[in-house]
Amino acid sequence: MIAPSIELPSFRKILKEKVLFNNEPTPELLAILTVYFVQGILGLARLAVTFFFKDSLGLNPAEVATITGITFIPWIAKPVYGFISDGFPIFGYRRRPYIVASGLLGTISWLVLALIVDDVWGAAIALLMTSLSVAISDVIVDSLVVERAREESVAQAGSLQAVCWGASALGGLITAYLSGWLIEVFGINGVFEITATFPLLVSVVAWLIAEEQCDIANVEGRKALVVAQSQQLWDAIKQKSIYLPVAFLFIWQATPTAESAFFFFTTNELGFEPEFLGRVRLVTSVASLVGIFIFQKFLKNIPFRQILGWSIVISTLLGLTTLLLVTHTNRVIGIDDRLFSLGDSLILTVMGQITWLPVLVLCARLCPKGVEATLFALLMSIWNLSLFVSSQISAVLTAWLAVTEVNFENLWLLVTITNLSTLIPLPFLGWLPVGDPQKELNSSAK
C-alpha cells in the first residue's frame, strides 16, 4: 500500500500567507520593509535624546516640548522631497540615489550629535538632520507602498500597511529594552554612536528597489514635470472628499499632550531609571504588534468613520487612567508605580496602534491615480504639521500651568486637559468617508 503523498507548503507560501499577509515577497518589498524596520530601530536613541535634553542640556519640560516639535519640521516638507525626487532624477533614477543619500545623512548626523554637539542649537540642528534623513527615505518608500495599495482593495491595502508598520514595530521591539540599558552602560553619546550605524542599512537595500532609468534628459523637461505634478496635486486636494477628511485628521492631532511633562514626572518624581524606561518601551513595542494583529484580524474592514470615532472616545477614557499614577491613587489601591506604568503603557499603545493604522489606510485610499506619491506625502506632511502644532501648544500649556522639572502640582490638570481635548474633533466625524474613498473619488471624477 502506497501512502498518500502530502504536499507541504513551501517556505515562500508560508512567508506570503502568514508573515506578509498575502503580499508577494519580492526584493523590493524586502527593501521597503527594511526601511520601516530601521525607522523602528532608530527608536534606540529616543530615550537618549530625552535624557540628553534633560540632563546634558538642563532643559525644562516646556523647552523639551518646544525642541521636540522642531524635529517635526522636516516631516512637514515631505511633498518637497517627492517633487525633487520625481522631477530631478539622479543619473536617471528617482528612488535609489535619494534613499542612499538619506542613509548617509542619517549616519553623519548621529555621529555629529555624539561627538561634537554640546549646546541647544547644535542639538536642534543635528536632530533636524536626523529627522530629514528619515523623512526623505520615508517619502520614497511611502510612494512605493501607495502605488501598491491603490491597486488593491481596502482590506488588501490594510494588510500591506499592517506589514510595513509591523516591520517598524519589530525594529522598535528589538531595541526597546536596550534603549534604556545602553544609556546606563555606554552613556548618552555612546547610544548616539551605536544608532549611527543603522541608517547605512537603508543605503544598502536601496539597490533592491525595482526601478527603470528615466528618459528625462534636460532641466526644462524636469521642470515641466514638476509643474504638471503641482497642478495635479491642486486638482486633487481641492476635492471635498479629500480636504474634509484631512481637516478632521489635522484638528484631531493638533490637540496638546502631556508627554514631556510626564517624562520628567516619571524620572524626577517616581525615580524611574533609564533601564526601567527601556522595559516600558519594550512593553509598548510588543503592544504595537498586538495592536497591528488586532486591526489586521478583526478591524480592517470596519468603515473609517466608525473605527476612528470609537477609537478617539476609548483612547480618551483610557488616557485619563494616567491620573491614577499622577495623583498616586494607584498606591492607595495597592498597585505599584512600575507595575501600573507598564500595564497602562501596554493598553494605551495597543489602542494607539489600532487608531493609527486606519489613518494610514485612509490616507492611501484618498490618493487619486497619477498623484499618489506626492499627495500621500502632502497628507503625511499635514499630519506632521498637526504634531508640530500640538507640541507647541503643549509647551505653552505646560508653562502656563507652571509644570516644571520639580513642580508637578498641576500635572493632573495638564493630563486632564490634554486628554479631554482629543474629543474636540468628534463633532466633525461626518467629514470622514462612510465607505471606500476610492469609489467616491471615481464617482466624482465621472
Q: Confirm whether 81 is domain-assigned.
A: yes
Res. 420: pLDDT tops 90: yes
Cβ atoms of 330 and 340 within 8 Å: the answer is yes
Express each pLDDT in 13-23 by its tens digit. Answer: 444 444 444 45
The mean-pLDDT minimum among 219-233, 344-358, 382-396 falls in 219-233
At 2 the pLDDT is 44
Between the CA atoms of 94, 99, 105 and 106, what dihedral angle is there, to the nearest 10 degrees? 150
Angle CA 42–47–51, to nearest 5: 135
Count the domains in the chain: 1
Confidence of residue 73 (pLDDT cuts 50, 70, 90): confident
Q: Confirm whether 303 is domain-assigned.
A: yes
Residues 6+ apart with CB under 8 A from 30: 205, 208
At 373 the pLDDT is 63
Express each pLDDT in 77-127 by its tens digit. Answer: 877 887 777 767 777 777 888 889 999 999 999 999 999 988 888 998 999
Instruction: Tell me what percent of the residues of the chain surpass a pLDDT of 70.
Output: 82
Q: Confirm whether 3 is domain-assigned.
A: no
Instruction: Check residues 250 and 178 and name the one with the higher pLDDT.
Output: 250
- Classified as helix, coil or strand, 93 is strand
Q: Confirm whether 404 is domain-assigned.
A: yes
Q: Confirm whether 2 is domain-assigned.
A: no
Cβ atoms of 364 and 376 within 8 Å: the answer is yes
Confidence of residue 281 (pLDDT cuts 50, 70, 90): confident
Which contacts (CB < 8 Å, 24+ apart) does range 289-294 have?
289/166, 289/169, 289/170, 289/173, 290/350, 290/353, 291/349, 291/350, 291/351, 291/352, 291/353, 291/354, 291/357, 292/162, 292/165, 292/166, 292/169, 292/353, 292/357, 294/350, 294/354
The three three-digit cell numbers of residue 331, written as one number: 498606591
Instruction: Check residues 342 and 187 and name the one with the higher pLDDT.
Output: 187
Residues 6+ apart with CB under 8 A from 399: 62
Res. 137: pLDDT tops 60: yes
User: Which of 193-197, 338-342, 348-352, 434-438: highest mean pLDDT?
Assistant: 193-197
The span from the CA of 407 to the CA of 60, in Å, is 11
| Domain extent for 319 | 19-445
Res. 24: pLDDT tops 90: no
Q: What is the mean pLDDT of residues 179-183?
A: 86
CATH code of the domain covering residue 138: 1.20.1250.20
Confidence of residue 235 (pLDDT cuts 50, 70, 90): confident
Q: Confirm whether 96 is domain-assigned.
A: yes
At 403 the pLDDT is 94
Res. 421: pLDDT tops 80: yes
The three three-digit cell numbers of residue 372, written as one number: 499618489
Q: Confirm whether 304 is domain-assigned.
A: yes
Residues 6+ apart with CB under 8 A from 207: 96
Q: Confirm whether 227 is domain-assigned.
A: yes
Q: In whole numbers, what is the pLDDT of the chain averaged over residues?
A: 80
What predicted TM-score, i.e. pTM, was given to this entire model? 0.76
